């Protein structure tokens, strides 16, 4: 098996901790444990023994996760080391060489790379900027063949921040049903909506729907490395057996903290705090774009910790972002990482002063380039 370089993750891994201003982060400013846990919980945390936990996730955590999704229980849930491991387990356990995967683009490109490395034929369909970053469903219909085994979507979307319309969701479910294919939905940004209205889930719409989610994005807890899969019990049992060959289990302490974070009252406090930060920074970004005249345009994100900006001057996106990193110690993501030049992805989930400073450095570079 040969893997291709996961370009987005490789660039971030190399540079995100070596710059003064990192605007590549696609989540929200992370919590401290002292902000998340009350004093009694902090004391209890210090008394826990560092043993192995339940390999599919603690019963308490899986039950707590299941309460987010109607008509599910703890046996519908597999806890993973982040949603990245969830993606790996799903592709590895369900697809074989020669199968076809219909994949939404642009997207976090991990599924693209994993599937191709396993010999799966990836057939992309595209969100269209002229459709307010909605899909052309005729394009999806034209991709389905007898070899279609899965349709994979990211909703809310990375990098555009778009949310699928109810009609688009229903049509994608209908297309998956007709093909007898799995519908795999990355919902890691569900809960980070800027209007406060939680995005509908694909769960419960189709018996072969599988959901991936986690605490890294909408919940601002990336250091816990807690993700999960939600799916039919027979699939979850199978996925658990594959999980035995990857990381075996997520950390015991992470399971414990995640259970506290996802209690209904805490969950709402976390999501409310994060939405407030995103809304404030989006206003900052919109004013910044306006001040740039005709240099930039974008459709404001409806959800998530990022914005996808089109720029209207002549320079390759990797070249632009490299100059910004090398000359200003500020890091943003090139549209090249998503197969779309003349775009940049900017994280909007950092603290406001930090975000403003990073945008100021981008303004400096643009002035020096005379674009």
Q: What is the pLDDT along the chain (371 residues), one digit of tens a residue?
A: 888 888 888 888 898 889 999 999 999 999 999 999 999 999 999 999 999 999 999 999 999 999 999 999 999 999 999 999 999 999 999 999 999 999 999 999 999 999 999 999 999 999 999 999 999 999 999 999 999 999 999 999 999 999 999 999 999 999 999 999 999 999 999 999 999 999 999 999 999 999 999 999 999 999 999 999 999 999 999 999 999 999 999 999 999 999 999 999 999 999 999 999 999 999 999 999 999 999 999 999 999 999 999 999 999 999 999 999 999 999 999 999 999 999 999 999 999 999 999 999 999 999 999 87
Helix (H) or strand (E) holding 344: strand 343-347
Judged on CB neighbours under 10 Å (0-12, 13-18, 19+), 18 is exposed
- Say if residue 281 is in the same domain as residue 195: no
Q: What CATH number has the domain bearing residue 294?
A: 3.90.1150.10
Q: What CATH number has the domain bearing residue 216?
A: 3.40.640.10
User: Given this model, what pLDDT does residue 340 score?
Assistant: 96
Number of domains in the chain: 2
pTM of the shown model: 0.97
Helix (H) or strand (E) holding 128: strand 121-128
Whether residue 38 is contained in a domain is answered as no
CA–CA distances in Å: residue 163 to residues 125, 289, 300: 16, 22, 11
- Say if residue 190 is in the same domain as residue 257: yes
Q: What is the residue whose two structure tokens read 């070249």? A: 319
- Say if residue 83 is in the same domain as residue 158: yes
| Distance from chain centroid for Cα 353 | 24
Whether residue 40 is contained in a domain is answered as no
Per the CB < 8 A criterion, the answer to whether 61 and 82 are in contact is: no
CA distance 139 to 147: 17
Strand, helix or coil for residue 228: strand
Q: How many CA atoms lie within 13 A of 87 on its CB side?
A: 21
- Say if residue 80 is in the same domain as residue 169: yes
113 Cβ contact partners less than 8 Å away, ≥ 6 residues apart: 3, 4, 5, 6
Q: How many CA atoms lie within 13 A of 261 on its CB side?
A: 25
- Say if residue 133 is in the same domain as residue 181: yes
CA angle 232, 237, 241 (to 5 degrees): 145
CA distance 106 to 317: 15
Per the CB < 8 A criterion, the answer to whether 91 and 120 are in contact is: yes
Q: What residues make up the domain containing 14?
A: 7-32+270-365
- Say if residue 230 is in the same domain as residue 279: no
User: Given this model, what pLDDT does residue 15 score?
Assistant: 87
- Say if residue 91 is in the same domain as residue 106: yes
Residue 149: closest CA among 112, 109, 176: 176
Q: Render pLDDT for 131-157 as a digit per residue (tens, 0 to 9).
A: 999 999 999 999 999 999 999 999 999
| Phi and psi torsions of 37, nearest 5° | -105, 145
- Say if residue 219 is in the same domain as residue 310: no
End-of-domain residue from the set 233, 266, 299: 266
Whether residue 176 is contained in a domain is answered as yes
- Say if residue 211 is in the same domain as residue 251: yes
Torsion of CA 239, 208, 126, 319, to 10 degrees: -10
* Beta-ladder partners of 227: 80, 214
User: Given this model, what pLDDT does residue 2 score?
Assistant: 84
Measure the N-to-C terminal CA separation of the chain; round to a whole number of Å: 44
- Say if residue 165 is in the same domain as residue 85: yes
CA distance 84 to 110: 8
């Amino acid at each position: 098996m040969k893997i291709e370089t996961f370009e987005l993750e490789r660039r971030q891994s190399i540079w995100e901790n070596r710059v003064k201003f990192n605007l590549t982060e696609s989540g929200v400013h992370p919590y401290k444990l002292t902000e998340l846990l009350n004093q009694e919980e902090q004391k209890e945390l210090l008394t826990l023994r560092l043993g192995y936990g339940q390999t599919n996730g603690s019963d308490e955590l899986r039950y707590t996760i299941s309460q987010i999704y109607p008509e599910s229980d703890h046996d519908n849930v597999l806890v993973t080391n982040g949603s990245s491991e969830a993606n790996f387990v799903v592709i590895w356990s369900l697809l074989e060489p020669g199968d076809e995967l219909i994949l939404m683009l642009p997207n976090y490109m991990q599924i693209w790379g994993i599937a191709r490395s396993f010999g799966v034929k990836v057939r992309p369909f595209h969100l269209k900027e002229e459709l307010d970053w909605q899909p052309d469903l005729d394009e999806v219909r034209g991709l389905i063949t007898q070899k279609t085994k899965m349709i994979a979507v990211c909703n809310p979307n990375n990098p555009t921040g778009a949310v699928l319309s109810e009609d688009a969701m229903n049509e994608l479910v209908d297309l998956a049903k007709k093909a007898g294919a799995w519908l795999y939905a990355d919902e890691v940004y569900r809960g980070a909506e800027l209007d406060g209205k939680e995005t509908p889930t694909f769960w419960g719409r189709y018996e072969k729907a599988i959901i991936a989610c986690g605490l890294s994005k909408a919940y601002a807890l990336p250091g816990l490395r807690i993700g999960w899969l939600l799916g039919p019990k027979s699939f979850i049992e199978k996925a658990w057996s594959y999980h035995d060959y990857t990381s075996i289990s997520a950390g015991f302490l992470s399971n414990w903290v995640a259970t506290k974070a996802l209690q209904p009252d805490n969950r709402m406090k976390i999501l409310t705090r994060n939405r407030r930060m995103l809304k404030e920074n989006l206003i900052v970004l919109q004013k910044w774009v306006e001040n740039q005249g005709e240099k930039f345009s974008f459709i404001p994100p409806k959800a998530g910790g990022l914005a996808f900006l089109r720029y209207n001057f002549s320079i390759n996106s990797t070249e632009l972002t490299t100059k910004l990193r090398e000359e200003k110690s500020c890091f943003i993501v090139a549209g090249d990482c998503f197969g779309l030049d003349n775009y940049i992805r900017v994280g909007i989930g950092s603290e406001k002063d930090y975000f403003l400073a990073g945008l100021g450095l981008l303004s400096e570079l643009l002035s020096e380039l005379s674009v």
